[in-house]
């Protein structure tokens, strides 16, 4: 019986560790009072755009009001800024060059 309990506790630790390592592959889809209450898994969990990527003047940018408030507050984002919010990342875009200057991972905020 001792062996079974030790094996089960070891498996629980392994699962907990695996879940912690895999945390970046989830993107919050619904927030309530600053807490993520619904998330989905993202395949290939790296950001789609890197610093320096140019979106261009005709891109459909995300308004400041559509950014998660806990993210815009935590990172001190400006309401006059230009942003792209997609796949769990906020891309801060220079309004004159249209190039990404900063990439913010919104998980786990």
User: 25 in helix, strand or coil?
Assistant: helix
The answer to whether 52 and 75 are in contact (CB under 8 A) is no
Half-sphere exposure of 40 toward its Cβ, with a 13 Å CA cutoff?
Answer: 6
Other Cβ atoms less than 10 A from the Cβ of 34: the count is 12
Q: What would the pLDDT profile of 63-75 be if each residue is shown by its tens digit? A: 999 998 888 888 9
Show the tokens assigned to 69.
């408030």
| Backbone phi and psi for residue 26, each to the nearest 5 degrees, phi listed first | -115, 140
Angle, vertex CA 71, rays to CA 42 and CA 68, nearest 5: 75
pTM for the model stands at 0.57
Beta bridge partners, 61, equal none
Q: Per-residue confidence of the chain (109 residues) as pLDDT tens digits?
A: 555 443 444 444 444 333 334 334 556 677 777 677 777 655 554 567 889 999 988 999 999 999 988 888 889 999 999 999 988 899 999 999 999 999 988 876 4
- Residue 104: name the closest of 56, 53, 38, 51 by CA: 51
């Amino acid at each position: 019986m001792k062996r079974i309990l030790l094996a089960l506790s070891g498996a629980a630790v392994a699962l907990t560790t695996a879940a912690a390592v895999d945390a970046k592959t989830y993107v919050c889809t619904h927030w309530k009072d600053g807490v993520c209450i619904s998330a989905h898994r993202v395949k290939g969990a790296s950001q789609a755009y890197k610093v320096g990527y140019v979106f261009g003047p005709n891109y459909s940018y995300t308004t400041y009001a559509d950014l998660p408030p806990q993210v815009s507050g935590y990172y001190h984002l400006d309401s006059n800024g230009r942003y792209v919010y997609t796949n769990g990342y906020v891309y801060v875009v220079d309004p004159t060059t249209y190039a990404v200057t900063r990439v913010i991972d919104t998980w786990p905020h």
